[in-house]
């Protein structure tokens, strides 16, 4: 019974996830009502052994046609360090 409980706890810990969204940077530029939002992201597998994509600020701004950046946010989702996704959100005009 104890072995089964130990295996169940280990399996649940591998399925645990964490998502954090935080402000990364801001400038003195004001954010208008008509602000655009650009996104970019990358995926990391097996603790960074495999990384796919680009979560750069410049790429996100370029995708949305932003020339004047106001705010940059970053969102990180991590599943037991086996799979992680990093997203960058750029707001501006």
**pLDDT tens, 4-63?**
777 776 666 666 667 888 887 777 888 888 889 999 999 999 888 999 999 999 999 999
83 domain-assigned = yes
84 domain-assigned = yes
13 domain-assigned = no
Contacts of 10 (CB under 8 A, 6+ apart): none
3 domain-assigned = no
Range of the domain at 38: 18-92
48 domain-assigned = yes
24 domain-assigned = yes
Number of domains in the chain: 1
Counting runs of H as helices and runs of E as strands, what totals does the chain give? 2, 5
Task: Give the pLDDT of residue 41.
Answer: 97
4 domain-assigned = no
């Amino acid at each position: 019974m104890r072995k089964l409980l130990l295996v169940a706890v280990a399996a649940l810990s591998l399925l645990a996830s964490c998502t954090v969204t935080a402000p990364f940077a801001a400038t003195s530029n004001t954010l208008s009502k008509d602000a655009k939002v650009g996104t970019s992201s990358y995926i990391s597998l097996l603790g960074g052994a495999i990384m796919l994509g680009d979560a750069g600020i410049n790429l996100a701004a370029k995708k949305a046609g932003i020339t004047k950046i106001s705010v940059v946010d970053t969102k990180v989702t991590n599943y037991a360090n086996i799979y992680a996704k990093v997203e960058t959100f750029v707001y501006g005009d």
